[in-house]
Amino acid sequence: MSNELISVEVTESGQTMQVVVLQKRAERIEVVIGKGVHSVQCVMVPTRSGAAYAGTVMGREIVYKMSREQVQAELDKNNPALKKSRRF
């Protein structure tokens, strides 16, 4: 089983880092930063405009620069069965 990695940006320093995705849905993305006993979980939710996902880890803001629509399209592409089960 391979873990999905995404790149997030630390807004304070402008650095980008790879984080492991625990759960990915259009309304929230749960990630783990670090390894072993020093790992920290973070829940990222869409911004008000829906243009990105943001969350905080130990007082620092991290941002995933993909829109809610892009994440939903990626989820639909990876698992088409989920798209059929959604109700609109």
Q: Which two tokens stand for residue 4?
A: 């999905």
Residue 48's domain comprises 5-85
Q: Which residues of the chain have pLDDT under 50?
A: none
pLDDT at residue number 82:
62
- pLDDT for position 79: 78
Q: How far apart are CA 8 and CA 64, in angstroms?
A: 5
Could you tell me the pTM of the whole model?
0.84
Residue 27 has what pLDDT?
94
Give residue 8's pLDDT.
Answer: 97
Check residue 74 and give its pLDDT. Answer: 92
Q: Please give the tally of structural domains in the chain.
A: 1
The predicted pLDDT at position 25 comes to 93
Would you state the structure tokens that stand for residue 60, as one six-digit string?
């620092």
